[in-house]
Every structure is written in structure tokens, then in C-alpha cells.
Amino acid sequence: MILVTGGAGFIGANFVLDWLNQHDEAIVNYDKLTYAGNLENLASLKTDTRHIFVHGDIGDSQKVCKMLAEYRPRAVINFAAESHVDRSIHGPEDFIQTNVVGTFHLLESVRAYWSGLAVSEKTDFRFLHVSTDEVYGSLAKDEPAFSETRRYEPNSPYSASKAASDHLVRAYHHTYGLPVLTTNCSNNYGPYHFPEKLIPLMIVNALAGKTLPVYGDGQQIRDWLYVKDHCSAICCVLEKGRLGEVYNVGGWNEKANLDIVHFICTLLDELRPRTDSKSYREQIKFVTDRPGHDRRYAIDARKIGRELGWKPVETFETGIRKTVQWYLDNQRWVNNVQSGAYRLWLEKNYAERDQ
């Protein structure tokens, strides 16, 4: 079996669901269940004996070591992270504790487990660390996309904490020989995305008749990757990736934030028109930009294509249509995930930026 940390979050849950849809191999899913970890994402697996859920923190070394000894996974895939830039600006300590200290404790636990394996099991074992393109900093408009050799220049507490975790993973390979792999992905979108990130927030707010808050001039550019494509890339790297290597995973879809919002509005105008027949674009409102907002990210995903034969299946147009339709079809999930704490967070974040 394999062990997945953070498997009740957005990307982790999609990975668990896709894995069990395509493999008979069981998964131990270890998640702290913070605000973005939601077992409802995995409701379809409630009776599936291949899915074993364990509630816990990656920083709890005693619990992690006990779990590793009990289930003896052949691989660990680390999704566990605090991942929202705005939250890291308001409260960076959680990001340091989870992304840096937590990753350190997880690596120590895994290293102890791996060291005790039989030779054949030790050779086959993998630790795959899932990271972000934000560790590379920001690009000017005409700069080439991020490659795996790009210098790290993180600009937010979130990206700095993920950069630190990447360095720890690399060090454990070079110092101890731990068989690691690292992926740095671009902006994900798709089903089960917690509605504080751009795409789900725009969909949810539009349907609720609320404003669609766009930071600054809305011209911040990101590369967008459909989450199911990201999951297939992780499987590919786990199976065929070279030990100690980093693989950038992107969708080849550079889009400005405002263009994303316009695209969502156009789809909603088609799929769920407003009762007054006006466009959802009427709800767009520009708000004060966040501090240190990186202007552009772009992923050069040629290495994973060249070495491992992976490429994304979805274009942005096909992926965003599937995403919008999923949110329209799963309003109960949206309603359930919108807890009081979530609403308070959005009010605090955007009230400060309202012009």
C-alpha cells in the first residue's frame, strides 16, 4: 500500500479518488483535518476497504512512526501543507509549523522507517514531496517560464515555507540517501477546491449574487493545471521519476486573473443565467491588491514530458467547463463547506481591501 499525507484536502482527495479508481493497491490517508481538510470529499469511499483514514498531524512523530510500522507502505506522498497566500500574510506561524517543522518531523519519521526496511523494500521505497511553482518567485512579462534549475526566490510566507520544505527534502536525499522525488506544480483547479481560492470563490460568489473581488488590475498571470492532470503527473513521477530529481508540472495555460473571471462569468451566463438576464460580469469589483503580489508564474513542463512521457489531457477551456459544472452539480458540498469560520475569514480578508 501507499501512504498519503493531506489526503482529505483539495489535491490530496482528488489523488486518493483517482488512485483507487485506477489501482487495487490500498491507501492509508493521514490528515490533520484543518479547515481545508474535508472528509466529505471522500464520502464515496466510505465503504471501500482499500481506503484507511487516520486522523493526525505530520508533526506528531510518535503517531507517524507507529502508523508506518503498522501499515508498512512502499511509498509516502506528502500533500500535507498550509497553502493559501493570503492566510500566510495574516498568520504566517501556521505555515512555518506545518510546512517547515512538520515536513522535518515527517522526513525524520520516514527516514527511520526506511532505514529499517529489508534491502529489496528499501530499494523500491519512494518519498514524493508535492510542492509549488511559487518557490521560484515572480516572472517579468517576457521572461522564460520556470525550469527546474531556476533559482528559488519566494516572496510570501507561504512560498518561503514551501521552499524551506523543498530544501529539507533535497538535503535528506543527499545526506542520508532517502529516495525522494519532488514535484513543483502550477495553480490547480477542479472539483473539491475550497472556496477561498480564485476559481471556486468566483463561482460560489457569482451564484450567491455577491461581488466578485479581483485584486488590483487583475493582470496577474498564472499557469493553470486541472487537478486530475496533476494527479496523473504524480502517479507518473512516482512510477518512473529519477531519484533526487525535481519535476515541474504545468498545464501550458497562462491566463490573467481577470480573464479567468471573465471566462467563468461567460460559462455561468450559459449554464446558469441570472434571473435578471444580466451577465455575471456585473458583479466584478476591483479591490486593493495584496502585499507583495507576484505578477506572473509560468511553468516549463518539458522535462516531465521528455523524461517520463507525461502531458496534460485537459485544455483550460475543457477543464474550466468541467469545474464550473461540478460546482453547479454539487451545491450541497459547497453549502456544507461554508462554515462560520470560513465566512469570517472571507469577510476579514476582503473587507480590508474593499475600495
Catalytically active residues are 133-134, 158
CA distance 14 to 191: 8
Give the residue among 152, 156, 185, 155 at the shortest CA–CA distance from 168. 152
Q: Distances from the Cα of 252 to the Cαs of 141, 149, 226, 278, 301, in angstroms?
A: 16, 18, 11, 32, 8
Give the residue among 263, 272, 273 at the shortest CA–CA distance from 318. 263
Q: Which residues contact 24 (CB under 8 A, 6 or more apart)?
A: 50
Does residue 310 sit in helix, strand or coil? coil
Amino acid at 340: G
Helix axes 227-240, 10-22, angle to 10 degrees: 60
Q: Which residues contact 340 (CB under 8 A, 6 or more apart)?
A: none
Asked if 56 and 63 touch (Cβ cutoff 8 Å), the reply is yes
Task: Give the number of other Cβ atoms within 10 Å of residue 33's Cβ.
Answer: 14
What CA dihedral angle connects 198, 89, 295 and 300, to 10 degrees? -80
**If you search the block for the grid coordinates 460546482, which residue do you land on?**
327
Residue 175 burial (C-beta neighbours within 10 Å; 0-12, 13-18, 19+): exposed
Return the HEC string of 316-352. Answer: HHHHHHHHHHHHHHCHHHHHHHCCHHHHHHHHHHHHC
Q: Which residues contact 79 (CB under 8 A, 6 or more apart)?
A: 4, 5, 6, 7, 9, 11, 12, 15, 130
Q: Distances from the Cα of 241 to the Cαs of 75, 76, 93, 100, 262, in angstroms?
A: 13, 14, 33, 24, 38
